[in-house]
């Protein structure tokens, strides 16, 4: 029984690590992209919208950050397919 717990914990911390890096890291990158889009813009008085258009650097920065997120989702799709066809991408 002890062995079972040990094995489960071993897999578990890997899942937790991957979860934190991808599952919390990507939303953070996405949030940075949203923030970049609003950089250097004037907020409306009620805080719901902007009164000035997005700046060039803001657009460029957010595009890069969103692109990373899209790439990560693509990698996710690749991982689903790879797992389905029995290919190991990482892990032992």
Partner 1 sequence: MTEALFILAIVVITALAFDFTNGFHDTANAMATSIATGALKPKTAVLLAAALNLVGAFLSIQVALTVSNKIIHIQGANGAPVPELMGVPILTIIFAGLVGGILWNIATWLLGLPSSSSHALFGGLIGSAIAALGLDGVKWDGVVSSVILPAFFSPVVAGLVAALGTFVVFKITAAVATGPREKGFRWGQIGSASLVALAHGTNDAQKTMGVITLALIAYGSWTNLESIPLWVKVACAVAIASGTYIGGWRVIRTLGKGLVEISSPQGMAAEFASAAVILSSSHLGMALSTTHVATGSILGSGVGRPGATVRWAVAGRMAIAWIITLPAAAVVGAICWAIAHGVGGALGTGIVFAILVVSASLMFRHSRKTKIDPNNVNEEWDGGLHPKSATSSESKTPVSV
Q: Which residues bind partner 1 (CB under 8 A)?
A: 1, 4-5, 7-8, 11-12, 14-16, 18-24, 26-28, 30-35, 37-38, 41, 43-44, 47-50, 69-70, 73, 76-77, 79-86, 88-91
Residue partners of 91: CB distance under 8 A and separation at least 6 = 14
Residue number with CB closer to partner 1 (31 or 60): 31
**What CA–CA distances, in Å, run from 47 to 31, 38, 41, 50, 59?**
17, 12, 12, 8, 20
| Nearest alpha carbon to residue 68 among 31, 20, 39, 16 | 31
Contact yes or no for 61/29 (Cβ under 8 A): no
Q: Work out how close the CB of 27 gets to partner 1 at its nearest, in angstroms, rounded to a whole number.
A: 4
Q: Work out how close the CB of 57 gets to partner 1 at its nearest, in angstroms, rounded to a whole number.
A: 16
Residue number with CB closer to partner 1 (50 or 55): 50
Q: Work out how close the CB of 60 gets to partner 1 at its nearest, in angstroms, rounded to a whole number.
A: 16
């Amino acid at each position: 029984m002890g062995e079972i717990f040990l094995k489960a914990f071993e897999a578990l911390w890997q899942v937790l690590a991957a979860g934190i890096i991808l599952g919390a890291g990507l939303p953070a990158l996405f949030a940075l992209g949203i923030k970049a889009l609003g950089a250097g813009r004037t907020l409306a008085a009620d805080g719901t919208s902007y009164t000035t258009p997005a700046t060039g650097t803001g657009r460029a920065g957010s595009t890069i950050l969103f692109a990373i997120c899209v790439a990560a989702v693509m990698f996710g799709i690749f991982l689903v397919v790879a797992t389905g066809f029995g290919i190991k991408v990482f892990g032992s």
